[in-house]
């Protein structure tokens, strides 16, 4: 079975070929079992505090949950983001999603903006949201709340047919991602995807970090939490958009991320 699996860490030429060809890749077993459990418990607390119904999505969990915060610049994943974007990008948002037990099939879509959809910008649709999805429950077989994607669809000049989207129908080239808890799926905003059905008797949790160019407006916050910014690392402050000139348009005053900072935590 074809599966775009890459190794943790540096973004290699082979990784680039896979990403440009398929629009996504999988980094297996990034988190240990203990780390998965810590993140899962943190996710449950985040959703309980938010009172989310059934399928729910909660932002900014990184502000209160250290286990989730630590995923923002994980050493297995951040080099991939840097390899794709270069040295200047931000965390546009951090969303924790829950799909309830016995959850149904989601709708096909591309990520973007309801205010001005990314497909209005150009073709192929530009990379404005690069998503790293940490799987916090087992998804080793279809029907476990997996993500389903259409490989290479970020390059397609035509959309997935409306007849399929309206009926939440299947396509023979859909790829259901099967991976262990603790694995990470990284994908381009223009790849057509949906949440697959979840036939197990427990809720499925995923922590998503979305990385964007510095001038893209954050989507999970109107402003950064001052207490979080004061206590977190230099790298994470920079990722949150700690500009010298936050009032300037298009990310003015945004320096390159401190990849070579003497602060090992940053």
Matching residue, tokens 């490989």? 151
- Write out the residue range of the structural domain in which residue 62 sits: 13-251
pTM of the model: 0.95
- Worst-scoring range by mean pLDDT, 86-90, 162-166, 171-175, 244-248? 244-248
CB 18 within 8 A of CB 6: yes
Confidence of residue 261 (pLDDT cuts 50, 70, 90): low
What is the domain-level CATH number for residue 247?
A: 2.60.120.620
> Is residue 193 assigned to a domain?
yes
Q: Are strands 204-212 and 90-99 parallel, antiparallel or unpaired?
A: antiparallel
Domain total of the chain: 1
What is the average pLDDT score of the chain? 94
For residues 229-258, give the mean pLDDT: 87
Q: Nearest Cα to 160, choosing from 198, 127, 193, 137?
A: 193
**Packed helices 13-22 and 78-85: angle between N→C axes, nearest 10 degrees:** 70
> Is residue 257 assigned to a domain?
no
What are the start-end ranges of the E strands in the chain? 24-27, 56-59, 90-99, 130-135, 147-149, 175-176, 184-188, 193-195, 204-212
> Is residue 258 assigned to a domain?
no
CB 67 within 8 A of CB 39: yes
CA 222, distance to chain mean position in Å, is 19
For residues 30-41, give the mean pLDDT: 98
> Is residue 6 assigned to a domain?
no
Burial class for 124, CB neighbours closer than 10 Å (0-12, 13-18, 19+): middle
Residue 77 has a pLDDT of: 98
List alpha helices for the chain, DSSP H: 13-22, 33-50, 66-69, 78-85, 162-167, 226-231, 234-239
CA dihedral (60, 212, 71, 151) in degrees, to 10, reads: 120
Could you give the percent of the chain with pLDDT greater than 90? Answer: 87
CA 262, distance to chain mean position in Å, is 28
| Lookup: tokens for 18 | 């896979």
The DSSP secondary-structure symbol of 30 reads -
**Measured distance CA(165)–CA(87) in Å, rounded:** 37
| Lookup: tokens for 109 | 């879509």
CB 179 within 8 A of CB 142: no
> Is residue 148 assigned to a domain?
yes
Q: Nearest Cα to 4, choosing from 257, 188, 161?
A: 188
> Is residue 199 assigned to a domain?
yes
pLDDT above 60: residue 265: no
> Is residue 70 assigned to a domain?
yes
Burial class for 180, CB neighbours closer than 10 Å (0-12, 13-18, 19+): middle
Residue 240 host element (H or E): none
148-206 pLDDT, tens digit per residue, is 999 999 999 999 999 999 999 999 999 999 999 999 999 999 999 999 999 999 999 99
> Is residue 4 assigned to a domain?
no
Residue 264 has a pLDDT of: 44
């Amino acid at each position: 079975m074809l599966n775009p699996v890459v190794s943790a860490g540096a973004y290699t030429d082979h990784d680039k070929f896979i990403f440009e060809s398929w629009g996504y890749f999988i980094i297996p077993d990034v988190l240990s079992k203990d780390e998965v459990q810590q993140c899962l418990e943190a996710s449950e607390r985040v959703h309980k505090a938010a009172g989310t119904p059934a399928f729910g999505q909660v932002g900014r969990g990184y502000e209160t949950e250290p286990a989730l915060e630590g995923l923002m610049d994980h050493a297995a994943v951040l080099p991939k983001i840097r390899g794709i974007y270069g040295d200047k990008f931000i965390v546009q948002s951090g969303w924790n999603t829950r799909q309830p037990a016995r959850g149904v099939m989601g709708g096909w879509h591309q990520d973007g903006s309801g205010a001005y959809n990314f497909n209005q910008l150009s073709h192929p649709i530009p990379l404005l949201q690069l998503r790293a999805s940490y799987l916090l429950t087992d998804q080793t077989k279809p029907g476990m709340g997996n993500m389903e994607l259409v490989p290479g669809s970020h390059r397609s000049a035509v959309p997935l047919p409306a007849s399929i989207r309206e009926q939440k129908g299947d396509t023979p080239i859909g790829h259901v991602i099967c991976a262990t808890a603790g694995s990470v799926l990284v994908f381009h905003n223009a790849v057509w995807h949906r949440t697959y059905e979840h036939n197990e008797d427990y809720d499925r949790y995923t922590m998503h970090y979305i990385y964007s160019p510095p001038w893209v407006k954050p989507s999970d916050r109107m402003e950064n939490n001052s207490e979080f910014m004061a206590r977190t690392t230099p790298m994470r402050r920079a990722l949150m958009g700690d500009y010298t000139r936050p009032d300037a348009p298009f990310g003015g005053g945004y320096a390159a991320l401190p990849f070579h900072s003497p602060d090992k935590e940053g």
